[in-house]
């Protein structure tokens, strides 16, 4: 079994007092992806939910649409390699499409699901070194995933839904970190209509959200938030 944390000796200062002690740090694990006998790169990740990570990663790269598109998925944890074979040997590039979802969410539900996303993680409490991404159906939690990289956590959450044949067209993704264009593209490519973050979006993610009818909400902290795009899905009561 591969541990997600490792104890390391540190020197800790509080005010002007020095202490030598052991502290938990998050493990960064390299996982090489061999897709159809081609090395397509190495993911630096937190070593759990690896199947979900690989499925989400190759889905978001356009190699599969559904879990049944996979012929083989084997993970050799000792050698840090994922072997993947797909039915379709060519990458599947899709045009970016406008969300047609008419779902909505109450503002109180936004505050509650963000609190759940941020307080879930014992790994974050122990190390302060991971991001969390969750998928919600209104205020019902489907999955919460963590990783040293926020895009890996997003891939894990999406991969879980792909494996379990859960449609994302009426779901909400909740992120602990910044929403870059790359993160927004993952939502767009999976038809997710609402993206919620504790942190800030970038200008390109806002432009993409506006263009494709994605509701983008950032800086959700306590009872505050900013809506950057398509506020028609947010209900204030």
DSSP 186-220: HHHHTT--EEEESSPBPHHHHHHHHHTT-EEEEEE
> What pTM was computed for the model?
0.90
Domains of the chain, by residue range, sit at 105-235
CA distance 225 to 217: 7
Q: Class for domain 105-235, per CATH?
A: alpha beta
At 216-236, the pLDDT tens digits run 999 999 899 999 999 999 998
Q: How far apart are CA 178 and CA 202, in angstroms?
A: 8
pLDDT at position 126, please? Answer: 57
Token code pair at residue 62: 């356009």
pLDDT at position 113 over 80: yes
Cα distances (Å, whole numbers) of residue 110 to 30, 98, 100, 221: 34, 23, 21, 10
What gap in Å lies between CA 156 and CA 162, rounded to an integer? 10
State residue 140 phi and psi, 5-degree precision: -95, 120
* Mean pLDDT, range 41-54, rounded to an integer: 95
Identify which of 195, 183, 181 has the alpha carbon closest to the alpha carbon of residue 225. 195
Are 88 and 217 within 8 A, CB to CB? no
């Amino acid at each position: 079994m591969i541990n997600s944390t490792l104890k390391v000796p540190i020197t800790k200062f509080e005010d002007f007092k020095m202490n030598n002690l052991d502290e938990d740090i998050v493990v960064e694990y390299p996982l090489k992806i061999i897709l159809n006998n081609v090395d397509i790169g190495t993911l630096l990740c937190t070593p759990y939910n690896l199947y979900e990570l690989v499925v989400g990663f190759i889905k978001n790269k356009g190699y599969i649409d559904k879990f049944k598109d996979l012929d083989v998925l084997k993970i050799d944890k000792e050698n840090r390699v994922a072997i993947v074979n797909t039915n379709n040997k060519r990458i599947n590039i899709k045009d970016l499409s406008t969300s047609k979802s008419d779902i909505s969410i109450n503002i109180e539900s936004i505050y509650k699901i963000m609190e759940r996303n941020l307080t879930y993680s014992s790994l974050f409490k122990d190390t302060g070194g991971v991001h969390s991404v969750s998928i919600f159906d209104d205020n019902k939690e489907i999955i919460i995933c963590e990783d040293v990289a926020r895009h890996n956590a997003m891939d894990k959450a999406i991969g879980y839904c792909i494996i379990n044949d859960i449609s994302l067209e009426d779901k909400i993704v909740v992120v602990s970190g910044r929403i870059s264009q790359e993160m927004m593209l993952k939502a767009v490519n999976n038809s997710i209509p609402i993206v919620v973050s504790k942190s800030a979006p970038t200008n390109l993610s806002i432009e993409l959200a506006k263009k494709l009818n994605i509701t983008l909400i950032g800086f959700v902290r306590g009872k505050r938030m900013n809506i950057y795009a398509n506020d028609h899905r947010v209900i204030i009561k």
